[in-house]
Chains A and B, each alone.
Chain A
Amino acid sequence: MKAVRAIAAMTGLLATLPAGQLAAQVDRTNPPPLGPAPTLRVPTPVTTRLANGLELVVVPMHEVPVVNVTVIVRAGSVRDPRDGPGLATFTANMLDEGAGRRTALEIADEAAFLGAQLNTGASYEWATVSLHVPKRQIGPALDLLADVVVHPTFPDSEVIRQRDLRRTGILQLRDQPTAQAPIAFNAIVYGANHPYGWPTGGTEASTTALDRAKVQAFYDTYYRPNNTRVIVVGDVSLAEARQLLESRLGSWQRGTVPVLAALEAPAPASRTFYLVDKPAAAQSVIRIGQVGVPRNTPDFYALRVMNTILGGSFTSRLNQNLRETHGYTYGANSAFAMRRLAGPFTAAASVVTAKTDSSLIEFLRELRRIRDEPVPAEELEKAKAYITLGMPSDFETTQGTAGQFLDLLTNDLPLSLYSTYLARVTAVTAADVQRVARRYLDPDHFALVVVGDRSQIETGIRALNEGPISLRDLWGQEIH
């Protein structure tokens, strides 16, 4: 302290420094300049195909003796029957409830004993079986994975057990406003004729109607090697991975997989607030948006930059405004769900009940501003740098690397894409950002879904004079 004070006095600053302030001995006026950025080294994927049509991608990474295997099958929720939402996710969840000679608990025990994580699930387009395992156990772990993918037994007793657990989970949705909000939002934005609007976890009625025959038929139709891709990332070579998988998945039988009918999202309604009542809720869960874009849009890079500025980072406008300026929320964000078809654009936050109307004002202000005003140069450069310079971290782990390539594999994009990714982000201009904001954000047609305490928030929302209020249940259906 003494030495520091002396220096402060020498430089004549002491009198102007508030109590407790120190004068720096090194020059802290400006942050240290960044040296040249390290070169992005994207691991190189190699691809091959088994005789039965299964596509295999291998990305060797040898730093840690672990292997990550992800099997993706075009068996996601878009394949759900119209009158039976939830079948795709249920079938995927049933894969490890009995397979080969093992029962459900034996599969769980074997995976744990191998130190492996084995997970199954389904999203809108794809069902996924993933395995993360120490290299030394890759053989027996792949035996387990192959049984789960190719030889699930779907025992009646397990179908009933899991069906009943799922029904209980649906009952518990009432406790969870952050789980309710997307279900209602999707139903409102996509309606009843598009599978992106259906509840992927099923309804009470569709779950009650699940049985073994439905699951087996769905599996037999879609789980085929010629409808499947596998990516292996980790401590293996292409030859090794190919041999490991050929011996286990090579005899899996091809099948004829039905082609999906073309789908169109409904035309949007004019801007409307949709209120889902959650009495005594401490916060209002807000989801604002509309139909967005598919992953293969040529505007992908401009959209990525635009959304990073709008709500895709901590310093984004939505988070700065609603959290750091107003303190209405612990965090606000936005995202485009880009899939084979146009998924939703969603801006989201959980806000304190008393500031629900004020929060909606700030959301709309930011969502309009990014359309109306060109983004300042410094803000644009920060967003582009955040994306491009941050890319090495995306490829640090086997799971992270798998995720990067799965984004391409699930959207039928070339695996060489990362070689041009940086240049394409760098090329985005302020005019591009404004153009895609105007094209893909349409505040006149936003659906604004609020799950919260109606008695506390309805009057304030009405007073905004920004659109009518429609009361909805937790499935997004109109309450009359």
Chain B
Amino acid sequence: MKQSGTTSLRAVGLVAMAVCFPVLGTSRLLAQALHVPYETFTLPNGLQVIVHEDRSVPIVAVNTWYHVGSGDEHTGRTGFAHLFEHIMFMGSQHVPTGRFDQLLEGAGADNNGSTTEDRTNYYETGPSNAAELMLYLDSDRMGFLIPEITAEKVDLQRGVVQNERRQRVDNQPYGLAEENILSRLYPAGHPYSWPVIGSMADLQAASIEDVRNFFRTNYAPNNATIVISGAISPAEARRLAEKWFGEVPRNPTPVQRNSPAPFTLAHDVFATLEDRVQLPRVFNAWHTVRSFSDDDAALNVLADILAAGRSSRLYKRLVYDLQIATQVTSYHDALKMDGSLRLFATARPGHDLNELQHEIDAQIRLLADSGPTAREIQRVQNQTESQFLGQMETVLGKADQLNQYQYFVGTPDYFEQDLNRYRRITPADVQRVARQYLASAHRVVLSVVPQGQTNLAVTEGVTP
């Protein structure tokens, strides 16, 4: 991101939703189907525009997704999509360096961007009278950026991004775990085998010509979708989009996206990393499925039941009952080309990671053998439904979600269908995915231990 937040911000942390289980005597949280009405049109240059009108507060959000992320990078140039995101704020042909932010702040608007493995987004929010300014600025950097890309700008933002990496990774306890997991979970050269932030060496190696080529290839109207959301009519949004984006040329050469073959681990991978930390932490990672594919929702529910929050099974077992861990967390991270289920736990002083791993494996086996309870399923469904409602509170939240659905499932208003994916989940579904993707699959087990204390790491073969 340009300012704050997380670099690999997931478009929206979809977790799970809710339905009615009449046997429990409860009703779902939402009385009506969840819909976000929209209009959409595509300009002759291929730019798709989606408009959602909501006048409850006099503000608008403009949310642009470019369909490029770190998953489109190549070995030796990792971190490039995110570095480029920073260049996009550094001025364009008609907007001198610094003016982008000055103009928006002077209009009472905020802006930022974020990069993931699969896409890069840029957004502005502010009073409704700033809508045209937002579209002017976004169109200028889409259509008129190249002559303004200079070595000085690239060098400066390279320094900022390297500091972003220091702040988020190098100066964070356990911060190096993620890239050590990815490089073991994926084969060399796989576009998910490196982190979004990239490596210091690759960031240093990026040349100005790399930056220009990246723009030419990826930053074209026919590789982007814009959502305009809030206190603006579809007619006005269309007029402004045509006015400012109409002249931006399409990229005549369609983008060739990476599409690596499905990959699975042939055996368990154990690794240990010494770090400047007080307590050892064990990370588990399994391959799963692509986002919005068949088992995606069931895996989200599984991760929640296993170790998300204080009502999860592993929290109760590790932190509460046995008191051998200070925390445990799991989540399912489904991306466009692959997914993974992650789980990590930190030992209390006096306990080693074999103790934790033994209990983690026992709880996974229990779920694979016996499945979750109906109440556990409904709890996760209710939490998910509540998260959907929360997202309805902001025009930016709705805009980003409309963009996400458009990109991943090809239709913007997929809210109710998405909820229904979770409403259909049964205990048998969760049991099956626990067995298929966790209990009977290979994984990466990474132990991060204090310097000189590798004896605290998980021992290969200690668990089945």
Whether, in the assembled complex, A385 has its beta carbon less than 8 Å from a beta carbon of chain B, the answer is yes
B441 to chain A, nearest CB (A): 28
B383 contacts A115, CB within 8 Å?
yes
B133 to chain A, nearest CB (A): 6
B127 contacts A37, CB within 8 Å?
yes
From known contacts A66-B389, A177-B171, A282-B170, infer whether A397 and B320 are also in contact, taking CB-CB under 8 Å.
no
Whether, in the assembled complex, A209 has its beta carbon less than 8 Å from a beta carbon of chain B, the answer is no
Residues of B within 8 A of A18 (CB): 147
Residues of A within 8 A of B326 (CB): 165, 168-169, 172
Whether, in the assembled complex, A393 has its beta carbon less than 8 Å from a beta carbon of chain B, the answer is yes
B367 to chain A, nearest CB (A): 17
From known contacts A32-B133, A330-B167, infer whether A134 and B144 are also in contact, taking CB-CB under 8 Å.
no
8 Å CB interface, A135-194 against B: 136-137, 161, 164-165, 168-169, 171-172, 174-177
Using C-beta atoms within 8 Å of the partner chain, give the interface range for chain A.
35 or more
Which of the residues B278, B378, B395 comes within 8 Å of A172, measured between beta carbons? Answer: B278
Whether, in the assembled complex, B349 has its beta carbon less than 8 Å from a beta carbon of chain A, the answer is yes
From known contacts A112-B383, A314-B101, A350-B163, infer whether A32 and B132 are also in contact, taking CB-CB under 8 Å.
yes
Whether, in the assembled complex, A298 has its beta carbon less than 8 Å from a beta carbon of chain B, the answer is no
Whether, in the assembled complex, B424 has its beta carbon less than 8 Å from a beta carbon of chain A, the answer is no
A63 to B129, CA, bound (A): 22
Whether, in the assembled complex, B311 has its beta carbon less than 8 Å from a beta carbon of chain A, the answer is yes
Whether, in the assembled complex, A36 has its beta carbon less than 8 Å from a beta carbon of chain B, the answer is yes
A331 contacts B4, CB within 8 Å?
yes
B147 to chain A, nearest CB (A): 4
A176 to B166, CA, bound (A): 13
Which of the residues A26, A326, A396 comes within 8 Å of B393, measured between beta carbons? Answer: A396
Closest to B103 in A: A31
Whether, in the assembled complex, A21 has its beta carbon less than 8 Å from a beta carbon of chain B, the answer is yes
B320 contacts A161, CB within 8 Å?
yes
Whether, in the assembled complex, B390 has its beta carbon less than 8 Å from a beta carbon of chain A, the answer is yes
From known contacts A112-B382, A283-B163, infer whether A168 and B390 are also in contact, taking CB-CB under 8 Å.
no
A18 to B144, CA, bound (A): 12
A17 to B106, CA, bound (A): 30
Which of the residues B27, B144, B349, B379 comes within 8 Å of A136, measured between beta carbons? Answer: B27
B94 contacts A393, CB within 8 Å?
no
A396 contacts B59, CB within 8 Å?
yes
A327 contacts B159, CB within 8 Å?
yes
Residues of B within 8 A of A65 (CB): 30-31, 389
* Chain A positions 1 through 42: 1 when the CB is less than 8 Å from some CB of chain B, otherwise 0: 100100000000000011111101110110110111111010
B283 to chain A, nearest CB (A): 16
Using C-beta atoms within 8 Å of the partner chain, give the interface range for chain B.
35 or more
B395 contacts A390, CB within 8 Å?
no
A315 contacts B278, CB within 8 Å?
no
B106 contacts A393, CB within 8 Å?
no
A29 contacts B94, CB within 8 Å?
yes
Whether, in the assembled complex, A381 has its beta carbon less than 8 Å from a beta carbon of chain B, the answer is yes
Residues of B within 8 A of A315 (CB): 98, 101-102, 105
A34 contacts B130, CB within 8 Å?
yes
A67 to chain B, nearest CB (A): 11
Whether, in the assembled complex, A269 has its beta carbon less than 8 Å from a beta carbon of chain B, the answer is no
A469 to B402, CA, bound (A): 54
Whether, in the assembled complex, B140 has its beta carbon less than 8 Å from a beta carbon of chain A, the answer is yes
Residues of B within 8 A of A4 (CB): 247, 249
Residues of B within 8 A of A37 (CB): 108, 127, 129
Residues of B within 8 A of A136 (CB): 27, 29-31
Residues of A within 8 A of B408 (CB): none
* Chain B positions 348 through 385: 1 when the CB is less than 8 Å from some CB of chain A, otherwise 0: 11000000000000000000000000010011001101
B3 contacts A331, CB within 8 Å?
yes
A35 contacts B98, CB within 8 Å?
no
Whether, in the assembled complex, A386 has its beta carbon less than 8 Å from a beta carbon of chain B, the answer is yes
Whether, in the assembled complex, A249 has its beta carbon less than 8 Å from a beta carbon of chain B, the answer is no
Residues of A within 8 A of B157 (CB): 327
Closest to A134 in B: B29
Residues of A within 8 A of B57 (CB): 41, 392-393, 395-396
A36 to B132, CA, bound (A): 12
* Chain A positions 110 through 126: 1 when the CB is less than 8 Å from some CB of chain B, otherwise 0: 00111111000000000
A393 contacts B125, CB within 8 Å?
yes
A369 to B126, CA, bound (A): 30
Residues of A within 8 A of B133 (CB): 31-32, 34
Q: List 28 A-B contacts (CB under 8 A).
A: A21-B144, A22-B143, A22-B144, A28-B136, A31-B136, A34-B107, A37-B108, A37-B129, A38-B127, A38-B128, A38-B129, A104-B320, A108-B310, A112-B379, A112-B382, A113-B379, A115-B18, A164-B323, A175-B173, A175-B276, A283-B166, A314-B2, A327-B157, A328-B159, A330-B160, A331-B3, A385-B107, A393-B59
Binding site for A on B (CB under 8 A): 2-4, 18, 27, 29-31, 56-59, 93-95, 98, 101-103, 105-110, 125-130, 132-133, 136-137, 140, 143-144, 146-147, 155-160, 162-164, 166-167, 170-171, 173, 212, 231, 243-244, 247, 249, 276-279, 309-311, 316, 319-320, 323, 326, 348-349, 375, 378-379, 382-383, 385-386, 389-390, 392-395
